[in-house]
Structure 1
């Protein structure tokens, strides 16, 4: 029901910012494997997560937007059970608890003028900043299906696979979501040359996934890249560009290698990022979701919400 409303309305939706970088650099957490899900294990961690998401929901409410509320499960797939020191059962239970947590937040904050969608986050099986090993679509299906099934059973409205580095893994994730009839969004991360870390062009990756899955993704996103890194590769008149429905950009212009080695957070310029995100609407007319990624927080998303000239607040 909620997803039908998302499809049918012209309402603009916001997401949050860079959760993990905020927790590490602003809150002082040491996140194992960059996993925000570990905060679900403590009362203080849950309080910090609730305060974080509530701040963004308040921005959506004040600007008449909807909100995409992510379960903090980007690093809660089967591939990360071992590195996190968890059993497969424990990591699947983490997904269930994460969905319950954000569902309770929605129950407290959703209004008629601010619809909230529960989004189950799926991350790559490897390191998004160092994609040395690519996996096949079949391997991706086997790796990601248990998490996607757990998220679906827990009651998410949709799945978003974020910071994917190559098309084959995206294909397996889409197939896993289609097996249980769950809408899925594919978000590719791009390097400073506007290409996927695999070296593939964005339009070719979208075409490959669509061809293999019968246009399975609800839409595509670009995330974990600064707009300057990919704006010049966009073609507003191309069919593939019309498949892009969201952008969650980095505040920093640094490369992934530079970000990975950074000891100080580069949070860029929130006002500039807001304007640059709004400017993308001229290249990507089907954008419905805007938010932030690494280095962004409520300041950046607030500026993004305030720099949307194409759609007035509802």
Structure 2
């Protein structure tokens, strides 16, 4: 009879160990997921576009430290993590150093938000930073598009996204609302009624992405007006930044506790099986 009970006991105790391992895995993953979500909610992101015809190639400093070197006109950075609070931003002609900054401005950054910061202005007097708050939430398997009017001498413009979406009478320094789009080939057009000029650029919209269309340059001077696009991934259904920044490993502070829990649970599980073998 004892021999018949041994397999049953072993199976029960083996099942207990499997259950312990499952809880261990669930606990570990839950800890990482929870802290990653908290880290994302408490992290701010900033990207920068150089849209100032006056500055040319520039160096950008944040809080007294170099942030971007040899930043060329019409360039767009990826998102970078930035602590919340007020940050001192300075822009200088390339190689001139922070002491020769043409623009010094305080940039307030709120927790959990994403920003596009445009360096704008065609003269020393109009040099400025235009800040846009981003919302890169995207519907699953869809794409989103936003247009930014950064041409200082264009007056109002009209933007066309694909065949069916038009944004009328955009003023300088405006950003359009986000437009939901089907994926696939798409053409962006910006018309400048003031000079009867149309700018166009083709783009293939990928699923779960946010495409920004920046109208930059000058219609009556140099550098010439052009459309610049930048695409970042969005996270379906979540109000994330959609940015590429890699979050720090927020589970690290709890690693010792998690490791101790793993050792204890494994010891309990193997102790149960060993006890079963000795008394079978």
Tell me the TM-score normalized by structure 2: 0.25
Larger Rg: 2
Greater per-residue helix proportion = 1
Greater per-residue strand proportion = 2
